[in-house]
């Protein structure tokens, strides 16, 4: 019985060490949403608790803020400056980051719409009346009257 218990303890310790390594090296992936990143982070943290680790909210909150991609730097700085990170809950940090993510997505959609409109507008060049396209518009070489041509023929 003693051997069985000690081998179970060793296995749990080894699993906890692997989870601790995963938690320490955890980084948000480029293009990953806040919800996806929180899911990965909380999955590891919950497994660590299951294997005997004591995970305080402050440790998870600080890890999340440190692990965000560089596009989140200004958001992280503003959260750290305006709020007491040591007393923030995981839900508070998640909701704060989700609000910022929605704003970023809205801004990106506005930029994409403006870019699409400018591309469509630039594609319209050369079309329509008054533009310099061959064979379109008024005047030009093809509109000479027959008297002008016949005068040339007489001089030859």
pLDDT single digits (tens) 45-74: 999 999 999 999 999 999 999 999 999 999
DSSP code string of 104-151: HHHHHHHHHHHHHHHHHHHTTTT-STTS--TT-SS-SGGG--HHHHHH
φ, ψ for residue 26, nearest 5 deg: -60, 130
End-to-end CA distance of the chain: 123
Mean pLDDT of 12-22: 95
Q: What is the pLDDT of residue 116?
A: 73
Tell me if 54 sits within 8 A of 6, measured CB to CB: no
Residue in 105, 18, 24 with CA at minimum distance from that of residue 60:
24
Tens digits of residue pLDDT in 80-90: 998 889 999 99
pTM: 0.66
* Residue 145 or residue 91, greater confidence: 91
Lowest mean pLDDT among 6-15, 27-36, 85-94, 138-147: 138-147
């Amino acid at each position: 019985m003693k051997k069985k218990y000690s081998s179970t303890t060793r296995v749990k310790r080894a699993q906890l060490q692997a989870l601790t390594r995963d938690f320490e090296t955890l980084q948000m992936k480029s293009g990953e949403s806040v919800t996806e990143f929180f899911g990965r982070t909380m999955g590891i943290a919950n497994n660590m608790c299951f294997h005997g680790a004591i995970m305080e909210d402050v440790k998870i909150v600080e890890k999340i803020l440190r692990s965000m991609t560089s596009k989140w730097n200004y958001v992280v700085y503003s959260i750290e400056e305006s709020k007491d990170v040591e007393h923030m809950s995981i839900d508070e940090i998640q909701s704060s980051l989700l609000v910022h993510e929605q704003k970023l997505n809205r801004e990106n959609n506005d930029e994409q719409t403006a870019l699409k409109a400018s591309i469509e507008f630039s594609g319209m060049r050369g079309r329509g009346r008054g533009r310099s396209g061959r064979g379109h518009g008024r005047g030009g070489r093809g509109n000479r009257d027959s008297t002008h041509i016949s005068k040339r023929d007489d001089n030859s």
